[in-house]
Structure 1
């Protein structure tokens, strides 16, 4: 690096471990290649997979790349475009998804170069905070809502009309996105929470009905709200919920399991699910097939344009902000399961 070369700040790690392995460096500003764009990042979003990737299976393990910039999601402004890119322009506001999957450069930096397909136009009325909160949570929620054997593989107004969706743990980032996307698509949404504070959040997000699973009989309460059963369960804690959710399924319903909160092993009551022809579907957004993922990006973008997605306390997803040089604290907050969305403000 020559003294005259323009540089920018980036957070990197060169070995697995706790948040302390993250540190800020200055690196040359990258140039986009064919099919790529460079984004001046304004806000970086942190997801659980970001800290899990950084932590690895054990401290100090070698990485796939000499150094890695964390964080999959973000939002900013395109400031350079490589050859062959169509439909995007310098100066355009975009949201970023899956920046660091099998790549070394996530969004915890001032400038990120990534495939053009991983940037999506962000309407002027949509904040960078919203843009940085989409990505992995919204795409995961979309997948969970569109894998029913009887439903649509797309989301749009009316696509889930007549469908009842149960969102387990609706106060989380994926749960929040699932509530809002399901409402936008016309579903009736029931969600479970563990406290009055979380009930306020899921109601702000748009849930029609709320069940307190610690003080109510969850199965009986859901059955009372949905006598014909639940068509889709967006499941964050199958190990804890599998016994009772089996008793609330509608015929040909689906349980979409996207996380292992509460335990990594699940026991399923076979007979109950057999009677209802339940589908048990595991979801990891990173390995979803490209066609389904492209549909998800398009549908989430349409929901943003329609104003169906919101963040912040009034939108049901509190925001926790950190400076770039406190990315370690941001990762620690997500690792500690803070309620809401953790965002990192990137200096311009």
Structure 2
């Protein structure tokens, strides 16, 4: 089968290779999926570079946690009726060496979820890490009907789904962005209000939107940059509010202002999708499945690359210049 892999950690151009590898076998409890599209996440590029949050102990790695395709074989204990089923795949490379940047991958059957015919393989490959992360960040701290949610980076892969899930839960959503293009994407997701991080006064803008004079009108924050945004978060979060953050790249070791947080009785969640409970995964998958069936879940693809151009795809994600999900279209090879 055609696949991309790396044997050493480092820059994409130095370590990624494309060629032929043996098709994986399917073990008991697993399914073999013919991958049609694979999505790239920051955790994939960080793992490849050696900067990831998870151990990466395998001597050879086929990257990418997320993908979509068709089940071609099943292992012992798996319903043979699943053969031929369209699926989206999540966490394919979690604790395993071989992910979705290949013609085939084998994963535990639970990690391959039915994909409706109305959702393309490329759209299915957008799900996985971003959608599961977003759902948990939005819903982990209770109902949102009538509340205000601030989604920082509302046009990002996680933020785009977080806006949608928050709207579905009945929240008013404020999304922060940097550019007009990002604003357009966040509005497409359903954000009712947009604030420009580089030029707007965040506190004043939130005060105006929420009607809370001092700006402390946010019930829940879904945060892409915990350390960089913490000062503002503490100024706009309500008492008993919560922050759910899944990244802090700009300030990787933030200082925690304990007394400010305790005075708010704030909840701070540090969200790593790979460590989420099985219950949290199941709730998120159910929400995604329901939204796909109702055709209410939107997806935003920034760029598509053939597998032969996986180096360009990784570099495009790492540049920070793309808005939306980057996809490897296996059928383009």
User: Which TM-score applies when normalising by structure 1?
Assistant: 0.88
Contact kept? 2:176, 2:197, Cα under 8 Å: yes
1:275 equivalenced with 2:274 (yes/no): no
Indicate yes or no: 2:328 matched with 1:304. Answer: no
Deviation at 1:57, TM superposition (A): 4.4
Matches within 5 A, 1:1-348: 8-20=1-13, 21-57=15-51, 64-86=57-79, 89-148=82-141, 151-152=142-143, 160-227=144-211, 229-311=217-299, 317-337=300-320, 338-347=322-331
Distance 1:105 1:178 in 2: 28
Q: In the alignment, is the contact (CA less than 8 A) between 1:14 and 1:63 conserved in 2?
A: no
Report the equivalent of 1:157.
none
Measured after TM superposition, the shift of residue 270 of structure 1 is 4.0
Displacement, 1:273?
A: 3.1
1:314 matched residue in structure 2: none
Give the whole-Å Cα distance in 2 for the aligned partners of 1:63 and 1:283.
19
Contact preservation (8 Å) 1:219, 1:245: no
Q: Distance in 2 between matches of 1:76 and 1:105?
A: 16
- CA distance in 2 between counterparts of 1:87 and 1:291 reads 26
Report the RMSD for the aligned CA atoms in angstroms: 1.9
C-alpha distance in 1, partners of 2:3/2:78? 25
Cα distance per residue 1:91-131 (max 9 Å; x no partner): 11110101001101100000111100101001111111211
Q: Is the 8 A contact 1:74 1:96 kept in 2?
A: yes
Report if the CA contact (8 A) 2:66-2:92 is conserved. Answer: yes
What are the Cα deviations for residues 67-87 of structure 1, in whole angstroms up to 9, with x where unaligned? 110000011111111121149
Which whole-Å deviations, capped at 9, do the CAs of 1:203-252 have from their partners, x for residues lacking one? 11110111112221101111221235211100111222111211211231
The alpha-carbon distance between structure 1 residues 176 and 296, as it changes in their structure 2 partners (threshold 3 A), is same
Relative distance call for 1:24 and 1:291 in structure 2 (3 A) is: same
In structure 2, the residue matched to 1:156 is: none
Q: Sort the Cα spacing of 1:189 and 1:39 in 2 relative to 1 into closer, same or farther, 3 A.
A: same
| Contact 2:26–2:32, Cα closer than 8 Å, also in 1 | yes
The structural deviation recorded for 1:308 is 2.4
Secondary structure of the corresponding residue to residue 135 of structure 2 = helix
SS in 1 for 2:21: strand
Distance in 2, Cα, partners of 1:87 & 1:136: 27
Does the CA contact (< 8 Å) of 1:184 and 1:308 recur in 2?
no
Distance 1:282 1:72 in 2: 20
How many Å apart are 1:255 and its aligned residue? Answer: 0.5
SS of the residue 1:253 aligns to: strand
Normalised by the length of structure 2, the TM-score is 0.92
Gapped regions of structure 2 (runs ≥ 5): none
> 1:77 touches 1:92 (CA, 8 Å); kept in 2?
yes
- Unmatched tracts of structure 1, length 5 or more: 1-7, 153-159, 312-316
